[in-house]
Amino acid sequence: MSLYILTSIKLIPGPIQQARLVSPISRLNWRFSLLNQKTNYVKWFSTGRGKIREWSTWKGIITRFVPIGLCLIAVMQWRAYRKFSADHTAKNWEVIFYCSLPLRATSRCWGWIADKRLPESLRPYIYGLYSNTFGVNLSEAAEEDFKSYPSLADFFARALKEGVRIIDPTSCLVSPCDGTVLHFGPVNTGQVEQVKGITYSLEKFLGENTWNRSNNNGDYRTSLLHKSDKQSCLYQCIIYLAPGDYHRFHSPTEWQPTHRRHFTGELLSVNPSVARWLPGLFCLNERAVYLGQWAFGFFSMTAVGATNVGTVKVYFDKALQTNRPKYKQSYLWKDKCFGSTVLLKKGDPFGEFRMGSTIVLLFEAPASFRFNLTPGQRVQMGQAICCAAKEGHVDRVQKPTYSVISNAS
Determine contact, residues 353/315, Cβ cutoff 8 Å: no
The verdict on whether 178 is a catalytic residue reads yes
Closest-CA residue to 251 (of 174, 341, 346): 346
- Residue 105 Cα distances to 65, 93, 116, 157, angstroms: 10, 22, 17, 21
Alpha carbon 238 to its chain's center: 16
Report yes or no: 351 and 313 within 8 Å, Cβ to Cβ.
yes
Among 107, 171, 175, 178, the one annotated catalytic: 178
Cα 35 to chain centroid distance, Å, stands at 53
Sign of CA dihedral 57, 71, 98, 246: positive
- Concerning whether 393 is annotated as a catalytic residue, the answer is no
Q: Is 183 a catalytic residue?
A: no
Mapped onto helix, strand or coil, the DSSP state of residue 356 is: coil
Q: Which of 250, 269, 300, 317 is catalytic?
A: 250
3-state SS track over 278-306: CCCHHHHECEEEEEEEECCEEEEEEEECE
Catalytic residue among 107, 171, 300, 357: 357
Assign 203 to helix, strand or coil: helix
Active site residues: 178, 250, 357
